[in-house]
Chain A
Amino acid sequence: MTKAKTANDSASKPPYRVVIGLEVHVQLRTKSKLFCGCSTEFGAPANTQTCPVCLGLPGALPVLNSQAIELAMTAALALNCNIPELTKWDRKNYFYPDLPKGYQISQFDLPISEHGYLAISDSKDRFQPKRVGITRAHLEEDAGKSMHDESHGSSDTCIDLNRTGTPLLEIVSEPDMSSSAEAKAYLTELRLLLTYLDVSDCNMQEGSLRVDANVNLHIDQDGRTIATPIVEVKNMNSFRAVERALDYEVERQYAAWQRDGLELGQTPKVTRGWDDGKQETYEQRSKEESSDYRYFPDPDLIPLTISRSEVERVQAAIGERPAELRERLEKTYEIPAYDADVIVNQGRPVVNYFEAVAQDSGDGKRSSNWIQQDVLRTLNEHQLTIEQFPISSQNLAALIKEIQAGKLDSTRAKDVFQVMFDDKLELKAAKDKLGIVAVDANELDELCESLLDANPAVIADVKAGKQQAVGALIGQAKQKNPNVNPGLVRSRLLELIAKRD
C-alpha cells in the first residue's frame, strides 16, 4: 500500500503549519435538566419546560442531577481523562437575554475531568494516526434560545427558555490538529464515541452538538516561527462547514499576515462567524465584557467528591469504544481495516446487524461487502435506519450462504435482495417469486450437452485453445434457464468439451 500524501505534502507545500483546537459542547442525554426536574425533551412549545430554578426566579435554588455526573464521567473516562476527587461549581457572570440568572453555572478551576486524549486516524491514510489531547471536559448548564423575527411586525427578540439548564459537557481539545481533515476526523470520532456510549445524541441540527474552533498558523521565516493571531470561529452547523470554515480561515489568515504582518499577542483575540451561504468567515463584534466573566464558586451549590471506586465502577461499565470495536471486527471477521471503519462509523445498530449476518453466514468479508454496498445504499436511498430495514440479519445471512454454496450467482442474488426488500419477503418466498429453483447436476449436464451439440464451432475454438469461446454459451444457458449459475455452467462446459473427441 502506498502512503497517501497529506495536504501539506503536496507539490506546492505552503510555508506554514496549521494549528487547530476545538471546543465541543454536547448536550447530555438526561431526562431532566442539570439543576432542576424540567424535561430536556427537544421540540416542546416555547416556555413550557421551565420552573423557578431554570427561570432563575428569586429564591429558587439548583440541585445537581446525578445522571449528568454519571454521563460526564462516562464520556471523560472514554476520552482517557483523569477525574479528580473533588470538583465544584462556579458562576460565569454575563448578561444575555437567554441567560435569566445573569450567570451561567459552569466549572472553572476544578473541572470534573482533564488531561485526556482521543485517537484519530484516516482509513484512506490522508493523515498519520495521532492522539489529539483533551485539555478538559467540564459540565455546565445550557442557555435558552433567542429568536429574532421581524416578520410578525415586532422588532422584539423572542426568548424561549425551554433549553435553559440542559446539561452540557464542554470538551476542550489541545491545539493538536494540523488540518481541517484532522479536525473533521476528531469531530467524527468524538461524535461516534459519545453516541456509542449513549452519552449524547450529538444531533447538530437540534443543537445537541456544537463546535467552536480556534485556529492560527505557525509560519517559518528567517529561522524563527511566527504565530499568527488566534481566531475563534463560530456558527458552524455541520462538520462539513467546520472543514470549509477552517480551510477558508487558513487561507485568509495567511493572506492577512502577508498584508499586515500581525502576530499573536499584537491584537485582541478575534471571533469570526462562518457564513455558510457565502462560504466565508466574517468578523463578529466582540462582547465588551467578554474577557471578564468574574468567575467565583457558586455559593448555592456544594462541591462534589468522586470516590475512586465510583470511577472504577463507571470505567467498568463503559462498553466497547469505536476504536476497540474496529479492531475486534477486523480480527474476528477477517475484514480489512477500511471495512471495519465504514461499518463502525455507521453506529452501533449497523455493527450489531453486521455481526449477526457475519456470524450466521460464517463469511465476514461477504457480509461486509453486502452491507457496505447493498444495505447501506438501500438505507440511504430510502432514508431508513437499520432498525427499519425489512431484511432481517438471518435472511441476509441465508442469502450469502446460497451465494457461497454456488446456489445463486451474484446477479440473481441481487435480484433476490431487491425482492426481499421491496416485498418484505423471506429468502425462500423471494426466490419463489422470482421462480428460482435449484438446478440439479443432471439438468445442468443436459443443458450443456444440448448447447454443445448445437454449437460445434465453440468446441473447436476451445480445443484450439480459446477457452473464452464458452462465454457465448453461458449467455444462451442463462436464457434457456435463468436459474443456472454461470460459473458452474462455464466449468461444466469446459469439462464436457474436454471429454469430447
Chain B
Amino acid sequence: MTATEMLAAMEAGTTTSETLVRGCLERIEKLDSDIGAFLSVREDAALSAAREIDQRRSDGKPIVALAGVPIAIKDLICIQDEITSCGSKMLANYRPPFNATVIEKLIAADAVLIGRTNMDEFAMGSSTENSALKLTRNPWDVSKAPGGSSGGSAACVAADMVPISLGTDTGGSIRQPASFCGISGLKPTYGRVSRFGLVAFASSLDQIGPFAKTAEDLSLVLDVIAGHDARDSTSSPQAGIKSKDLLGKSPQGLRIGRIKECLDGGVQSAVSQAIESACQEFAKQGAEIVDVSLPHLEYGVSTYYVVATCEASGNLARYDGAHFGHRSNDATTLAELYETSRSEGFGAEVKRRIMLGTYALSAGYYDAYYNKALKVRRLIRDDYRNAFQKVDCLIGPTSPTTAFALGERTSDPLAMYLSDVYTVLANLAGIPAISIPCGFDENNLPIGLQLQGPAYADAELLQTAALYQGVTDWHVRRPA
C-alpha cells in the first residue's frame, strides 16, 4: 500500500494506524534479518503514537497530513534523546538533545516514526557498505548493493516494510539507491527543506528528501517537510508551490531535454534503452523531446569531490573525542586523544574524504582545488540555466548501471566516485531531481530514470513524474 492509499483506508475506516504499524513491524521482523535496512526499530513508541492518532481520528478530532502513516528515518537526522549514529562508530551512542526541523514537522503531521535506517558512514558512499554498523542488501537481489548512502531508507521502502522514508542527498544519496531499489526518490531544491538537525556531510550540497513508491507519495511528504526555517540560514524564504496542487493535472506543452552527454558510452545498454523508451513514452503523452547539452557534465564528479570533501573536512572536525562521540581509551594527552579517537571512530572512506578535503584546503592548494571547483560549480549551474531556457526538465539515467554487487567496488574508491556522475550535478547546481523506476535489466534489476528541473520547480517535476507513472507500471513492481 502507498501512503496515499493508507490515508484513504484510515479515512474510510477500513484500517487503523495501529494495524498498519503492526503490519510494518511484522514485515521488518520477517525480512530485515536478510535485508538489514534498519539500525533500530521504535516498536513501542511507534505503536503508542499510532494508537493515539487512531483515538484522535475516532474522536473526530482534526486530522493532519500524514496522520498515522508509518515512516522510516535515515540515521543522520536528529531525533531528540534517541541514538543518531550516522552509521558511524563515532556516534554509536550519541543522543542529540533536540529534534531536527523535519522531525518536528513529521510529528506535527502525525507521521509515525518507525525506526532508523542504515547508511554509509556520515552519508559518504554509494553502496551503504561504508556503514560501520551493518550491511544492507538490495531487496531485488541480496547479493547486490542497495545503493547509497541512503541504502537503508531505499531498501525498506522497496521491501514494503514501510510506505515512505526520509533520506538525504549530497551527491545522489537518495536518487541512486531509489534507482537501484526500484522506487521513487526526490532530492528537493537546495533550501526547500531545512537542514537543521541533519548531521552535515557537505553543507552546501546536503538536502533531505523522501523515498516512496509513487510521485504522489513523494509529493505528500515534500509538502509536509518543505518550508522556510529561521534556524537554517540557507533555508529559502521562497515558498514553493504545494506539489499536491499540481498532481493529476496534465502538464501543458511539456518540453523535455534529453541530456546528450548521457547518451555517450559508459552507460549500461539496458539503462540507455530504458531511458530511450521512457522518452518515447513521454512523447506519446504529448511532450516534446529535444536534445540538450550540459557541456561541463564530465567535470561534475571532480568538482563534487573537491567541494564535498573540503566541507566535510570542516564539518567532521567536531568529532574529536573531547566534546561528544567516541573517545579513545588509549590516550593520555590531548593530542593523542584527538588522533586516536578519530582514527578509531571513523571508517576508511570517511578518513579518505577528510584527507582529501584537508589536502585540498591546505596552504598552497586552495586555489588549485577548492576555488577552482567553486568556479566550475558556477559553470555547471550556468549549463543548467541555459538548458532550462529551452526545456522544462531534463531526462537521463540516474546511474550508469543497475545495482552492482556487494564488495565489487569497495577496493576502488575512484570507480565508486565515478558512478555518481549523473547525480552530483543537481547538488552542485542546487536544483531538484527525482529518480523513478523505468525498467529492468536482463537480471531483473531495476533501472532508474532521473528528471531534473529548475530551482523551485519541485512540484512541476513531481507532476511530470506522476504523468509517467500514470501510464507505466514499473513503479508498482515489487521484488519477489
Contact = CB atoms under 8 A, between A and B. Distances in A.
A63 B231 contact: yes
Contacts of A301: 233-234
B198 interface: yes
Most buried by A among B204, B323, B363, B366: B323
B233 A102 contact: no
Interface string A291-304: 11011100111100
A93 interface: yes
B320 interface: yes
A59 B318 contact: no
B358 A59 contact: no
Contact of B317 (A63, A103, A157, A302): A103
B198 A300 contact: no
Given A63-B230, A63-B231, A302-B233, A52 B370 contact: no
A498 interface: no
A84 interface: no
Given A58-B318, A61-B196, A102-B318, A299 B232 contact: no
Contacts of A55: 323-324
Contacts of A347: none
Nearest to A36: B231
B78 A59 contact: yes
B310 interface: yes
B200 interface: yes
A59 B200 contact: yes
A91 interface: yes
B91 to A, nearest CB: 7
Nearest to B235: A61
Contacts of A63: 230-233
B191 to A, nearest CB: 10
B202 A59 contact: no
A113 B258 CA distance: 48
A95 B317 contact: yes
A58 B366 contact: no
A62 B94 CA distance: 21
Contacts of B334: 97, 157
Interface in B383-433: none
B233 A52 contact: no
Nearest to A98: B322
Contacts of B234: 61, 299-302
Interface in B307-359: 310-311, 313-314, 316-318, 320, 322-324, 334, 338, 358
A61 B233 contact: yes
A61 B98 CA distance: 12
Given A59-B96, A61-B231, A64-B233, A95 B320 contact: yes
Interface in B40-85: 76-78, 84
A100 interface: yes
A296 B96 CA distance: 27
A182 B277 CA distance: 80
A328 B24 CA distance: 80
Most buried by B among A63, A102, A159: A102
Nearest to B86: A58
A350 to B, nearest CB: 43
B94 A58 contact: yes
A56 interface: yes
A103 B320 CA distance: 12
A102 B98 CA distance: 21
A280 B268 CA distance: 73
Nearest to A155: B332
Contact of B311 (A57, A60, A299): A299
A428 interface: no
B91 A101 contact: no
Contact of A95 (B96, B197, B338): B338
B203 interface: yes
A42 to B, nearest CB: 23
Given A59-B197, A292-B363, A302-B234, A100 B318 contact: yes
Contacts of A60: 98, 196-197
Nearest to A92: B314
B373 to A, nearest CB: 11
Contact of A62 (B233, B320, B361): B233
B199 interface: yes
A158 to B, nearest CB: 12
Contacts of B313: 93, 294
Contacts of A299: 202-204, 234, 311
A52 B97 contact: yes
Given A296-B366, A299-B204, A59 B198 contact: yes
B472 interface: no
A8 to B, nearest CB: 38
B195 to A, nearest CB: 6
Nearest to B374: A297
A57 B96 contact: yes
B155 to A, nearest CB: 24
Given A58-B91, A296-B314, 10 more contacts: A52-B98, A57-B98, A59-B198, A97-B334, A101-B317, A101-B318, A102-B314, A294-B314, A296-B310, A302-B233
18 contacts: A55-B324, A56-B318, A58-B78, A59-B76, A59-B100, A59-B198, A61-B196, A93-B314, A97-B323, A100-B318, A101-B318, A102-B318, A159-B323, A294-B366, A296-B311, A300-B233, A301-B233, A302-B233
